[in-house]
Structure 1
């Protein structure tokens, strides 16, 4: 059985941790504040940032600007692991553009910085509320995952098998660009009160 390390215990990190636990997957939550990690669920292993990672799959449940710190702190440890980038690299000063080049993505940048890791893009098109409920409207929440390593995708999918969400393969890591554009659109719609933070896009 695979295990998961989640760096970050905010709304997204907590929701992802609970999904993995529901699937029977062991979860380590890594934070700078141990009490925040333990508050996610008593069943998680709470670890301070900088301490060793235990998971085969490492989910970076952090804002895009924090990825550099993760690479600097854990770069060597991430080699040989599946690393999941959930970020949407928005320009939060304008909320009107992505801050990565048009032919790239945050996930592609992360893959270049971690050549020994298998980088996946996932969860960036989901809001925490739809992960927590397992539904978008009256259909199951879909987690789209992009990446170049088929085995990494299989391991990732298995870690959530039996939880409330379904995982769908969205293609190669090049598709992360489109996933980030979709995440960007969803965020701007919610921020503009065209939709709510408890809804999202559904795959029928």
Structure 2
């Protein structure tokens, strides 16, 4: 199993932490508010620990569970403390009205993060195409992910499987923009064709 550090104290961070612990992973919770991080870790149980914001994360996998606008500033704060880590970006980059992306054409939030981390760190985009409340319900789901480093993607794939989920590799990190576009698509589906946010996207294999 994996050792995972989760930077962030929001709902998605807590949901991923709970599923990671249930999957037998070691989990470290990190937030700017150390008291709150300690509270979250204690509430999770399962041996979850609280880390110190800005210092080297204990986990080999570092889940950046913060909003897009905060992601690069957080990475900049960590600097070389992220050297050698696999950084998992779960953010979406939708506009305020969720009809487009705020990132320029040809790039993505994940690629901006990749430009900011140390050269020895690898960024993988994952989990942004799963609504947090659906993830919290448990059960099998498909998780689309993208990244440039084969070993980093293998580590993330194994972690996803440990959560009882199916990892689906969509290619290099240039595909992260399209994954972030799927986030916009899901909101539009919820508002229109589906009618609510109680759904997930997946792949049915025909054979």
Structure 1 position 39, deviation (Å):
5.6
SS, match of residue 52 in structure 1: coil
Q: Which residue of 1 aligns with 2:98?
A: 95
In structure 2, the CA distance between the partners of 1:49 and 1:190, relative to structure 1 (3 Å rule), is farther
Q: Which moved more, 1:126-135 or 1:12-21?
A: 126-135
**TM score, norm. by length of structure 1:** 0.88
Alignment match of 2:58 (pick from 49, 54, 60) = 54
Q: Which residue of 2 aligns with 1:123?
A: 127
Q: Could you list the runs of 4 or more consecutive aligned residues of structure 1 that deviate by over 4 angstroms after TM superposition? A: 191-194
Q: Does 1:106 align with 2:109?
A: yes
Rounded Cα–Cα distance in structure 1 between residues aligned with 2:162 and 2:175: 26
Q: Which residue of 2 aligns with 1:173?
A: 173
Q: Deviations over 1:106-154 (max 9, x none)?
A: 111111111331000000000112222234xxxx211111001110111
Matched residue count: 199
Structure 1 position 170, deviation (Å):
1.4
Q: Which residue of 2 aligns with 1:78?
A: 82
Structure 1 position 200, deviation (Å):
2.0
Q: Extract unaligned runs of 5+ from structure 1.
A: none
Q: Extract unaligned runs of 5+ from structure 2.
A: none
Please give the root-mean-square deviation of Cα atoms over the aligned residues, in Å.
Answer: 2.0
SS, match of residue 114 in structure 2: helix
Structure 1 position 48, deviation (Å):
3.9
Rounded Cα–Cα distance in structure 1 between residues aligned with 2:43 and 2:180: 26
In structure 2, the CA distance between the partners of 1:22 and 1:173, relative to structure 1 (3 Å rule), is same
Q: Deviations over 1:47-66 (max 9, x none)?
A: 24234310100001111011
Q: Which residue of 2 aligns with 1:67?
A: 71
SS, match of residue 161 in structure 2: coil
Q: Does 1:45 align with 2:52?
A: no
